[in-house]
Chains A and B, each alone.
Chain A
């Protein structure tokens, strides 16, 4: 079980899954994922219930309760199955059989792809957001690229996917993209209106940054121009509608 990182796996589940990636130990063991195990795995992963709240290990689980971190893990990743899996056809909506054959290509959410990758059941290919084409576009003019449309969690996914696909250039590519787009964000964020064309192109992380600057400047401007410190409750401003008497009006 040397290949398994135990910190990623709950103890009670270790045995069930130990069959998965161990071809040499016992060739007779079928290297298959049964659906109930997979379901089990899903639940465990969703709860991230392996070790309780956060260790700040490298890249894994920066925030246990971080909503964005959870949402990010739903990003689809294209994988190729290295083993066959009985009864897992439901993972691929287009699949006609109930089984997954070796060498099949499909999109899985990151959390599942990552766990299967740890067990050497799948191989992960570089997502389209980090393809050469995107890189060329970002090199040309980073600020003009609609990263949100490509992947709203571009940076987070990039950090997590880099060690899995073994592409060492992703890290510096991310830094380059962020540095270049940061300049644009800085010059446009303070004093921008609430929604601009530029802000709709920003990824989640960038738009938080953008919003932080914009809202603090807006709050300052409001304070500077706005006079009174006491705000009127919304209900006080309302005028009561006067009901018009329905009787015939006197001429």
Chain B
């Protein structure tokens, strides 16, 4: 990532975020037997047929493509759980529900490579889409509240891909508002009050806007 002084903050592309998500672990049920694998990211295995084992997603996908294992879908990827989450997302307009940091990427990879291991795949897929839409809508309404006094925005439980989508826009917005609302530019409050209704009492800048 770019440093703070860089005016054009670099972003990850979606495939790069997907790459990062592949380090998350999933459970697989191997169809082969093999001793432990010693890799830079850690030791995995030993693998015994029909005995579940934790491996990184990239390894799971690679084994699955060769027909060497079944991937066990994560707990949160069940219709019941997702239903609950969607309900909760809709009920709380200012908060995001805790979901895995990479839920969009993981679900996309699993839908693509392990569609036969997920129950009710159509339902799960559309639920995740709905959840993502609801959450993104929340982000947009949150962005509307940004004003000159916003110094930072706290986005708890937002996932990697969602952050990545809004990052360029949000950073530029905050920069622009910071620039235009600085006391250097605005020297004194409006006298006529015709332009900014709430201008006279500007008050101190707030440090954090809780969301």
* Distance from A62 Cβ to chain B, minimum over Cβ atoms (Å): 8
At the interface with chain B, which of A4-12, A104-112, A167-175? Answer: A167-175
What are the residues of chain B within 8 A of A176 when measuring CB–CB?
Answer: 195-196
What are the residues of chain A within 8 A of B148 when measuring CB–CB?
Answer: 175, 179
What are the residues of chain A within 8 A of B143 when measuring CB–CB?
Answer: 186
What are the residues of chain A within 8 A of B199 when measuring CB–CB?
Answer: 172
Task: Judge whether A220 and B172 touch: CB under 8 Å.
Answer: no
- Which of under 10, 10 to 19, 20 to 34, or 35 or more describes the interface residues of B? 35 or more
At the interface with chain B, which of A40-48, A221-229, A243-251? Answer: A221-229
Interface of B is mostly: helix
- Among A215, A216, A217, the most chain B Cβ lie within 10 Å of the Cβ of A216
What are the residues of chain A within 8 A of B166 when measuring CB–CB?
Answer: 213, 216
A141 to B14, CA, bound (A): 36
At the interface with chain A, which of B25-33, B44-52, B177-185? Answer: B177-185
What are the residues of chain A within 8 A of B11 when measuring CB–CB?
Answer: 216
* Contact status of A224 and B177, CB under 8 A, knowing A172-B196, A175-B148, A229-B15: no
A213 to B173, CA, bound (A): 10
* Contact status of A217 and B165, CB under 8 A, knowing A175-B181, A224-B108: yes
Task: Judge whether A220 and B186 touch: CB under 8 Å.
Answer: no
A59 to B166, CA, bound (A): 28
Nearest CB to that of B183 among chain A residues? Answer: A171
Task: Judge whether A66 and B7 touch: CB under 8 Å.
Answer: yes
In the complex, how many residues of chain A place their beta carbon closer than 8 angstroms to a beta carbon of chain B?
A: 40
A172 to B176, CA, bound (A): 14
B194 located at the interface, meaning its Cβ lies under 8 Å from any Cβ of chain A in the complex: yes
B164 located at the interface, meaning its Cβ lies under 8 Å from any Cβ of chain A in the complex: yes
What are the residues of chain B within 8 A of A190 when measuring CB–CB?
Answer: 136, 140, 165, 169
A182 to B194, CA, bound (A): 19
Task: Judge whether A63 and B169 touch: CB under 8 Å.
Answer: no
* Distance from B5 Cβ to chain A, minimum over Cβ atoms (Å): 10
Task: Judge whether B184 and A179 touch: CB under 8 Å.
Answer: no
* Contact status of A216 and B180, CB under 8 A, knowing A171-B185, A179-B147, A223-B15: no
Contact surface of A with B, Cβ cutoff 8 Å = 58-59, 63, 66, 135, 139, 155, 159, 162, 168-169, 171-176, 178-179, 182-183, 186-187, 189-190, 205, 208-209, 212-213, 215-217, 219-220, 222-224, 227, 229
Contact surface of B with A, Cβ cutoff 8 Å = 7, 11, 13-15, 18, 108, 112, 136, 140, 143-144, 146-148, 161, 164-169, 172-173, 176-177, 179-181, 184-190, 194-196, 199
6 CB < 8 A contacts A-B:
A159-B185, A178-B176, A190-B140, A212-B172, A216-B166, A223-B14
